[in-house]
Structure 1
Amino acid sequence: MSVHVEQEPTTSAPVPVAALEVRGLVKHYPGVKALDGVDLVVRQHEVLGLAGENGAGKSTLLKALVGLVRPDAGEIYVRGELVKLRSVVEAADHGIGMVFQEQSLVPNLTAAENIVLGSEGAGVRRGIYRWEAMRRLAQEQLDKIGSHIDPLARTDTLSFADRQMVEIAKVLRIEQRSQHPPVIILDEPTSVLESKEIETLFEQIRRLREFASVVFVSHRLDEVLEVCDRVTVLRGGQSVGEVATAGAVPRELHRMMIGSTGSDDHYHENAAAPVQAEQPRLSVRGLSGRSFRDVDLDVAAGEIVAIVGVHGSGREDLCRALFGAEPTTAGEIRMDGKLLDLPGTRAACAAGIGYVPAERKTEGMVGPMSVAENMTLTKQKARCSGPLVAPRKQAALVDSWISRLSIRTPGRDTAIQRLSGGNQQKVVLARWLVGGDIRLLLLDHPTRGLDIGARSEVYRLMRELAGNGVATVLLADSLEEAIGMADRILVMNDGRVATEVACPNGGKPSPLDLVKEMV
């Protein structure tokens, strides 16, 4: 006789609703399919990394998530609810906020005004600012990220790194604005931060995970793996896979991003040219300026000299002074033995000096102008016959450099602002090459915001220029970049050159060797 035991029905635990979900997102631009059916899931209380080469669709996707771009097809769900995000305000009302790589601050307002803009609360009464209340509201956000910025300082007086910290503090105000657990998007938030500031930011991201979800975008794959729980990879406007960060390595993400394992010689050190050291191409003696003093510097033809230092060390102002963009108070600059007078940037260009600025969007290019116009801005003679522009001559010149540098653009007449960051940087670099008369190239963070593939292309071009005798001064984006690319490294500390370190192949210094002299 068998006994039937009635089983209780089994129930599975409900699957938590995703904080944010994207299904089949599509976006076309003229000649470009920026998004081609992208899927993305951001779980509650996680940090999701988003990786991909420049032009993979990351920026377009992020803009769609904060209401700046309207997709042509696809759906966006916030906590399971289908939403139409038609503006940044609507996105914020749903708890979605973003720290923009290109910054979105109003320069003539104070840091406090920018931080509370649109959600002033107690900071405004009857249409009148209550400055002390506004300062307290802003200070509360700045304290979260360990920033010592004066909330009442005008934003345009702050450094780029400090403005980035204001951006981060601003987006954290979404906690007060929305009734929902927020989704915070961080687009390249570490691109201009020093190591201590990066660690402070990572601590803040870990705090955010407790009550929010975070989308973290960085071209520094080691950062992505350190701070994220999962990584979704885009390639060619499509989602090509995801990987859990536990146990993952940068090479795995790189393979997914470009479809191959990539080169072991990331810095193209095997292509390093011998230095032509008969006479320094650039010779600087006792140069002093606003934030640097008594600087001596020699750079030979074909040599790459990197200058490293913490924020405020004076290296950025030194680089600008060598281009005539900052005044000097003492010292001399010689090029091939000839004393230079650099009252402005025009004189520097005439002397064969090129400069790629750190702030590409605001100083390195004119967004609405075409690729061709941006590429020939400083080399008018190269595109002219007599006093007039020769369209065919310009077209042939520009097309040759587009091909040579593998610039991905629908055409030479495309506005440069429509290109990805890596391709914009190639155009900015090409500007100094089209005339064929460049002797000294000043590179201020030339790989900032570029993916690993685009960085490698910039490094290859630097090696090629050095082989052609161009002297290069590099303000590197990281110590590893400086060590990998430089023949010599100068360490600046408090406006002075603290030490000089040789970087021969097979005898490279370690980052720790440099840090000891930087602080």
Structure 2
Amino acid sequence: MSAAEPTVAQTSTEAPALRLTDVSKSFGVVNALTKVSLEIRPREVVGLIGENGAGKSSLLKILSGNQTADSGTMELRGRPVTFSSISQAMSNGVAMVYQEQSLLPNVSVAENILLGNERGAVRDGFYRWKQMHRTAQRHLDEVKSGVSPSDITDTLPFAQRQMVEVAKALATGDGSPYDPVILLDEPTSVLESGDIETLFSVIRRVKEHASIVFVSHRLEEVLEICDRVYVMRDGEVVAEVDPAEADVDQLFRLMVGRDLTSGYFREDLSTEPTPDVRLAIESLTGPGFSDVSLGINRGEIVSILGVQDSGRENLGRVLFGALPAAHGSVRIDGERVGLRSTRDAVARGIGYLPSERKIDGAIMGMSVADNMTLAHPDVVSTLGVMRSRRVREVADEWIRRLAIKTSGPAAEMVNLSGGNQQKVVLAKWMLAPDLRVLILDTPTRGLDVGAKSEVYAILHGLAAKGVSIILLADSLEEGIYVSHRVITMADGKVTGEFTSRPGNRPSRTSLIERML
């Protein structure tokens, strides 16, 4: 192994909490997992990374009892096991914290934490509320949550619900002499930086009496929080890595099978914007923000960074006509425009990619072709009549241009990976005859590094053609390295502006100071 390669972590002599040996899983002719072997040791955080489709989800489903393997063995604390259901896995102390939360919204925190694991908190079919609240409070204290066991779950912010999920996973170990195994599936994907640090503190504390599997597309986080990392590609484990001796570029190469010579932010594709102001915002005020003034040049990428409730999300929605502005003005290419609806925005050449692509950005039950052309029917119609052949031709062209992995234009969106879904949503705006401004709300959230790199390449390509881009970045690094300029917001106000060029990038500290 060369010096540039990460080394394999040293093997511990302590018996593993969970071990898989030659586990395989197929769906028809598709091999989801092929002879996967790994182990999770007591009191450690094991990272699991790979591109979308690498097999991570299938592996988690087998570990959590959601699916069974076709072949291979699983040992829990040295004992052969096969979980035929999620409840069976939980009863053995293996619990999963899902990326899309599994809590029941209209019941209390205590009921959620102990759901299916009530034990002494139920007598003769009735809850013993005092006992339930005491038990739930103990687990909430373990994760340092200030939430009350009696709180109704859907009244809590997302970050607090995430902590309740972790407390629920810890409850699976109740009554067992063994420490639990907790599976964290993208636990930070929609958390702000402060909430991520809180979660990491919880993970470090919890691992003192638990084993944790941490799945994330954010490689910096994996290197920070994990003791060992397994890398998956095409349904196989291709490497076991010591985070202390690896970096993001090395993990990327192991995941995708090629070097990341230009950095996955694709700085090599960045071009200089023109001096012409394309979008001019003056004293704009709307829900959650006030007195925002900002100019964006043609071909310029401007990132806006801010914590939750900073106002940046609503600023993007107002500029797309999805929320009303109280006062202020918006000009495009010098012309003042009224954005009373999303239809007005589209007519003015403004596109918008929402943070929840599966809910607001696409229609999962419709085809790739229909999702691409829905916002711009004039592109595929004649005299107001939609031409099916033209729809297919346009979709085929953009599938080819963006290298979208799909069986064809007729494929349903729901069957595409997250990265390919995002490409379809981007194509919807790229085929617009006069796209001038594109607003993107965390466009790479939940995408693997390979898909992120492809999205960044698309954004740089749009900017090179003169499109002005507002990027509500998913991370500080994304905001710093993808943009020409970075704007910070806090409490609904613009608090800072930073030039961001190679050799002159703002520091994380300087940005965080203006965001808080």
TM-score computed with the length of structure 2 as normaliser: 0.88
Residue aligning to 1:89: 87
- 1:339 Cα offset (Å): 3.4
Q: 1:276 aligns with which of 269, 274, 277?
A: 274
Q: Relative to 1, partners in 2 of residues 1:337 and 1:49: Cα closer, same or farther, differing over 3 Å?
A: same
In the alignment, structure 1 segments of 5+ residues that lack a partner are 1-13
Matched, 1:400 2:397: yes
- SS of residue paired to 1:373: helix
Residue aligning to 2:231: 233
Residue aligning to 1:433: 430
Q: Relative to 1, partners in 2 of residues 1:429 and 1:28: Cα closer, same or farther, differing over 3 Å?
A: farther
Matched, 1:355 2:352: yes
1:95·1:179 contact (CA, 8 Å) conserved in 2? Answer: no
1:356·1:364 contact (CA, 8 Å) conserved in 2? Answer: yes
Question: Quick check: 76-85 or 490-499, which moved more?
Answer: 76-85
- SS of residue paired to 2:167: helix
Letter in 2 for 1:318: L
- The 5 A counterparts of 1:456-471 are 456-471=453-468
Matched, 1:58 2:60: no
- 1:242 Cα offset (Å): 0.9
Matched, 1:342 2:365: no
What is the aligned length?
A: 505
Letter in 2 for 1:437: D
Over residues 237-285 of structure 1, what are the superposed CA-to-partner deviations in whole Å (9 max), with x where a residue is unaligned? Answer: 111121222322223222211222212343222322222332x322222
- 1:475 Cα offset (Å): 1.1
- 1:486 Cα offset (Å): 1.4
Matched, 1:38 2:25: no
Question: Quick check: 166-175 or 92-101, which moved more?
Answer: 166-175
Residue aligning to 1:321: 318
- 1:118 Cα offset (Å): 3.0
Matched, 1:448 2:445: yes
- The 5 A counterparts of 1:90-489 are 90-120=88-118, 137-149=135-147, 154-176=152-174, 180-278=178-276, 280-489=277-486
Over residues 442-485 of structure 1, what are the superposed CA-to-partner deviations in whole Å (9 max), with x where a residue is unaligned? Answer: 11111112222221111111100001111111111221211111
Q: Relative to 1, partners in 2 of residues 1:242 and 1:502: Cα closer, same or farther, differing over 3 Å?
A: same
Residue aligning to 1:11: none
Q: Relative to 1, partners in 2 of residues 1:28 and 1:48: Cα closer, same or farther, differing over 3 Å?
A: same
Question: Quick check: 69-78 or 194-203, which moved more?
Answer: 69-78
Q: Relative to 1, partners in 2 of residues 1:373 and 1:34: Cα closer, same or farther, differing over 3 Å?
A: farther
1:365·1:428 contact (CA, 8 Å) conserved in 2? Answer: yes
2:370·2:391 contact (CA, 8 Å) conserved in 1? Answer: no
Residue aligning to 2:7: none
Question: Quick check: 450-459 or 462-471, which moved more?
Answer: 450-459
Residue aligning to 2:8: none
Over residues 278-336 of structure 1, what are the superposed CA-to-partner deviations in whole Å (9 max), with x where a residue is unaligned? Answer: 2x322222222232111112222211111112222121222222222333323233333
Letter in 2 for 1:45: R
1:92·1:177 contact (CA, 8 Å) conserved in 2? Answer: no
Q: Relative to 1, partners in 2 of residues 1:433 and 1:161: Cα closer, same or farther, differing over 3 Å?
A: farther
1:444·1:474 contact (CA, 8 Å) conserved in 2? Answer: yes
1:93·1:177 contact (CA, 8 Å) conserved in 2? Answer: no
For the residues of structure 2 that align with 1:248 and 1:498, how far apart are their CA atoms? 36
Residue aligning to 2:18: 20
Question: Quick check: 398-407 or 453-462, which moved more?
Answer: 398-407
Residue aligning to 1:504: 501
Over residues 207-255 of structure 1, what are the superposed CA-to-partner deviations in whole Å (9 max), with x where a residue is unaligned? Answer: 2222221111112222212222211110111111212223222232222
Question: Quick check: 358-367 or 229-238, which moved more?
Answer: 358-367
> What percentage of aligned pairs have identical amino acids?
49
In the alignment, structure 2 segments of 5+ residues that lack a partner are 1-11
TM-score computed with the length of structure 1 as normaliser: 0.88
2:193·2:307 contact (CA, 8 Å) conserved in 1? Answer: no
Residue aligning to 1:10: none
Question: Quick check: 50-59 or 29-38, which moved more?
Answer: 29-38
For the residues of structure 2 that align with 1:209 and 1:44, how far apart are their CA atoms? 8
1:370·1:414 contact (CA, 8 Å) conserved in 2? Answer: yes
For the residues of structure 2 that align with 1:292 and 1:125, how far apart are their CA atoms? 51
- SS of residue paired to 1:432: helix
For the residues of structure 2 that align with 1:290 and 1:111, how far apart are their CA atoms? 30
- 1:435 Cα offset (Å): 3.0
